[in-house]
A = this chain, B = another copy of it.
């Protein structure tokens, strides 16, 4: 119904022609200065919010229990709060989680060079190449080419892993509506993934569907058939573990209030902004709490009310998550103690370890998700309730394996 108003982009004649898959955002910026200049802002944001924001503090220092939870894995050495898109390249190169054996796959979500490289060499070769070697071909952080098609400026799926994961579910993203693409474009990166096989092929575990129960089932099946057994072995409990990473897309789309109401990621994280007469989507993607008037105000008249609720929800989730962590750590220490006993029942011990694995998959789905539950509050809390239950069952199973209650240290409970 806005036929009476020209969309801002159509009014301006393109100044330069942008080559297909052009990695350099500055080139695109000649035609679209507002989008470009706001994208640049993501490089220097460093405000903190109660549970988010762009200050790259160490998550491990903020909550040392994470060191125990990730014992034996890179995430127990270096794990920071994430920040804006322009920092992606700096940060992936600086993290201690990267080492000599790191594959190129780790660049998948960090650079606007990728669409061009995938086009030239294919994703299998990209992923297989060592990180250090691939790095010599990469010099741009996230940019326009990660989200847009140069010719039309349409939002597109640029990551082959996403196209494949959707196809595996029988979905053809080229049929998606514009409003759907305003969420799906973020799924190029804000999704759980793993490295499949020796080629470290980037894969999203979506074959059964994208909600937590379906993802947990996927990893149970890949364990059973040996196709993907673990990300790492837990140093204390000995369980074969899965690390969950930034499942924003899967979590938000799991019947959340906002998703079901037709709201997209871009509505909150890239709200329309005015500069003089022009209206455009801000590309300064960050915590919406830092500009709630714009991000929430378009739909909610009382912005004070909704931001207060965000706090209420996040506090509830954080408290419940804290209890879950205590339960998992109790399970870990009890399993460790049981495993040290000579007469331990091996079958029951294995069962206890599998319960630890399962419990931590559920917990990490909420811990690794970056909204402290806000994207889908009820789902967050029911997942944590389940994670706690599983962790306590793991602990009970370890006691059963031990046969005696001595393995229960009082502080572990």
A378 CB contacts on chain B under 8 angstroms: 312-313, 316, 377-378, 381
Interface hits, A356-412 → B, CB 8 Å: 377-379, 381-382, 384-386, 388-389, 392-393, 395-397, 399-400, 402-405, 408
CB proximity of A315 to chain B, nearest CB, Å: 10
Q: Is the CB of A400 within 8 A of B408?
A: yes
**Residues of A within 8 A of B (CB-CB), count:** 40
Chain B CB within 8 A of A12 CB: no
In Å, the complex CA distance between A383 and B388 comes to 13
Q: Is the CB of A261 within 8 A of B323?
A: no
Chain B CB within 8 A of A309 CB: yes
> Other CB < 8 Å A-B pairs besides A378-B378, A392-B396, A399-B408, 12 of them?
A261-B302, A312-B378, A316-B379, A316-B382, A327-B392, A377-B378, A388-B392, A393-B413, A399-B405, A403-B404, A403-B405, A404-B405
A309 CB contacts on chain B under 8 angstroms: 257, 260
In Å, the complex CA distance between A302 and B319 comes to 33
In Å, the complex CA distance between A260 and B242 comes to 39
Chain B CB within 8 A of A1 CB: no
Chain B CB within 8 A of A291 CB: no
Interface hits, A308-348 → B, CB 8 Å: 308-309, 312-313, 316-317, 319-320, 323-324, 327
A381 to B, closest residue via Cβ: B381
Q: Please, could you name 18 A-B residue pairs with CB atoms under 8 Å apart, sorted by A?
A: A255-B312, A257-B309, A260-B305, A260-B309, A313-B378, A320-B381, A320-B382, A323-B389, A327-B392, A385-B388, A392-B392, A392-B396, A396-B399, A396-B408, A399-B408, A400-B405, A403-B404, A404-B405
- Per-position binary interface string of chain A over residues 133-154, scored 1 when its CB falls under 8 Å from any chain B CB and 0 otherwise: 0000000000000000000000
A384 CB contacts on chain B under 8 angstroms: 385
